Chain A
Amino acid sequence: MSEANNAHNVSYLEYKGQYKGLLAWIFSTDHKRIGLLYLYTMLFFFSVAAILGLLMKTQLIAPGYTIMGPQTYNSLFTLHGIIMIFVIVVPGLPAVFGNFFLPIMIGAKDVAFPKLNLLSWWFYIIGILIVLTSQFMGDGPPDTGWTFYAPYSFRTPTNVLPAVFGAFVMGFSSILTGINFVVTIHRMRAPGMTWFKMPLFPWTLYGTAWIQILATPVIGITLLLIVAERLMGIGIFDPALGGDPILYQHLFWIYSHPAVYIMILPAMGAISEIIPVFSRKTIFGYKAIVLSTLAIAFVGYFVWGHHMFTSGMSGRALYTFSFLTFLVAIPSAIKVFNWVSTMHKGSLQMQTPFYWAVSFIFVFMIGGLSGLVLGSLATNVHVHDTHFVVAHFHFIVFGGTGYAFMAALHYWFPKMFGRMYDMNWANLGWGIFFIGFNTLYLPMFYLGIMGMPRRYYDYLPDFHGGNIVSSLGAWVMVSGIVIIFANLIRSARHGEKTTEKNPWGGKTLEWQVDTPPTLENFEEIPTIEKGPYEFED
């Protein structure tokens, strides 16, 4: 190997391997390049699905037909949901920042199985392509919602098969990433990095990885059963053949509730990295955060029934699930207290990643508290399947995972690209986004309580006021997104170059390696003596 192309002194962006051009990316087994592959794929599909959301909100700005009819609306919310869930937030932070930073943060050269890692990305892309064929073939785009509830999913004439099968294929990607991360964390920590010296982002990736491994197969089989039901009419879910449609809901949510923790745990991990760095203080209650992460991952398996309170489960199941749901709220609240206590009396650095992190706590709290309203049996009956639910999960998923993703992106951006973004534009984008976000989703709580159902293209005139506000909010929020993305994309290509190793003053390992990192991250694997957040020397 020539001096100019050495794995120790050339950045991963410039390193020349076997292939050139695009091939050097899509066939790279470097965990950093794979992380960026996921990032670009996600930014693209997020933009597509956000436009779908904007079209739906434009339709809802007035009652009746505005820009589309019911069938179009139904297929839009289905595609919007499938993309946002399966393509964006489920792979989410682990696929992008986990791939990029997990090995660096634990002092390793790569993940345990680099080829498997690349295979995960390929499964992901192939799954997406299969899902997309559903939009263009024969019988029209699917209109079931991303939940594919039985028996409608095998009664509707639309193209459900490719959508379901594509989601099934993407599941492999998720499982393989999970296996890879579990083995990496068990086997590849640098000498001296004991479990309780490991930074919190890797910890949350660990909890998440177990959920990916154990829960994803359930949705895989369930989706295949939908395929079998459609093609062969085997009668597992079809009541007309003696099947049980509620069994479908059980199986679906046995995956999909833990899946919301796949989405939120790594988000919490990223926030737990950012808050101490921008407060210049040790994280408050490191062990409490670790244990609450594991507790959430564990208890999260047993609360799925709260999606089915009105479906006709037995009374005993109802209060069991309600009780367990309240239990899982406790570890989430513990984390909020930890973050707030970390900031208390810290010297706060008012910079873009910190704005995102603090606003994360704000919207996450609103989402979490509305979850308790939904977790109580009596109130759930009132607001189930209304816009209240839509508001709830957007506050949690978009407000939680989405904000944390942006926080992480603005935090790690200089390390990943070796360039800095324009802070003023970044802050402006954040401000507009934050105002738009709340204008868009807060009225949905009100509309839901007043009784406006979800998944309809039309509504009664009484709901007009709230919908006008909400739809305008969507436009404001999207303007914010445009500013943020434009700034980041421009900066990744033309931003001010930096080789500064530690622009924010972080203590974790990724801030000790080169900017951008070399192919093998470390010239010499470090030996760890201190904990990850020791700011007071």
Chain B
Amino acid sequence: MSEEKHHIVSYRTHAFVLLALLVLTGISVAITQLEMGPMNTLAAMIIAGIKAAIVLAWFMHLKFESRFFAFMVSAVVVVFLLVLLVTFFDYSYR
């Protein structure tokens, strides 16, 4: 649509994002070497979450869109986290 602004992200920024994603991937491979029990899964999930957030913000342009979209996406993430939380009412207390 014509009225919408097109934000151009520079190659530099894209390169930084790529680098960040690669480093995080490296970290999530590295921590599998540590023996942390269930915490290993938690750590992997947190790193994956950060990566997803980076992709959403820069590659998928959430950072440059109206705040409303960021709000909608966060609401969805909250629902998802709550579903996980409730599931663990079962798994943590069996």
Contacts and interface: CB of A to CB of B under 8 A. Distances in A.
Contacts of B92: 314
A315 interface: yes
A314 to B, nearest CB: 4
Contacts, number: 38
Contacts of A320: 86, 89
Interface string A316-332: 11001100100000000
Contacts of B93: 314-317
A155 B91 CA distance: 25
A174 B66 CA distance: 27
Interface string A487-509: 00000000000000000000000
Residue of B82, B89, B93 contacting most chain A CB atoms (<10 Å): B89
B90 interface: yes
Nearest to A254: B83
Contacts of A288: none
A305 B86 contact: yes
B6 interface: no
A397 to B, nearest CB: 23
A459 interface: no
Given A214-B76, A214-B79, A314 B86 contact: no
A313 interface: yes
B87 interface: yes
Interface in B49-94: 76, 79-80, 82-83, 86-87, 89-94
A321 B83 CA distance: 12
A254 B79 CA distance: 12
A320 B91 CA distance: 13
Nearest to A246: B90
A123 interface: no
Contact of B83 (A246, A302, A317): A302
Contacts of B90: 246, 250, 305, 313-314, 316-317
A314 B79 contact: no
Contacts of B83: 254, 301-302
A301 B87 CA distance: 11
Contacts of B86: 302, 305, 317, 320-321, 324
Nearest to A319: B89
B94 A301 contact: no
A44 to B, nearest CB: 36
Given A314-B94, A316-B93, A317-B93, A250 B87 contact: yes
Nearest to B80: A214
Contacts of B80: 214
Interface in A284-309: 298, 301-302, 305
A317 B86 CA distance: 8
A491 B86 CA distance: 51
Contacts of A321: 86, 89
A302 B92 CA distance: 17
A301 B76 contact: no
Contact of B82 (A246, A302, A317): A302
Interface string A237-266: 000000000100010001000000000000
Contacts of A298: 79
29 contacts: A214-B79, A214-B80, A246-B90, A250-B87, A298-B79, A301-B79, A301-B82, A302-B82, A302-B83, A302-B86, A305-B86, A313-B90, A313-B94, A314-B89, A314-B90, A314-B91, A314-B92, A314-B93, A314-B94, A315-B93, A316-B93, A317-B86, A317-B89, A317-B90, A317-B93, A320-B86, A321-B86, A321-B89, A324-B86
Given A305-B90, A317-B93, 17 more contacts: A214-B80, A246-B90, A254-B83, A298-B79, A301-B79, A301-B82, A301-B83, A302-B83, A305-B86, A313-B94, A314-B89, A314-B90, A315-B93, A316-B89, A317-B89, A320-B86, A321-B86
7 A-B pairs with the lowest CB-CB distances in the bound complex, closest first: A314-B93, A317-B90, A317-B89, A316-B93, A313-B90, A314-B94, A320-B89
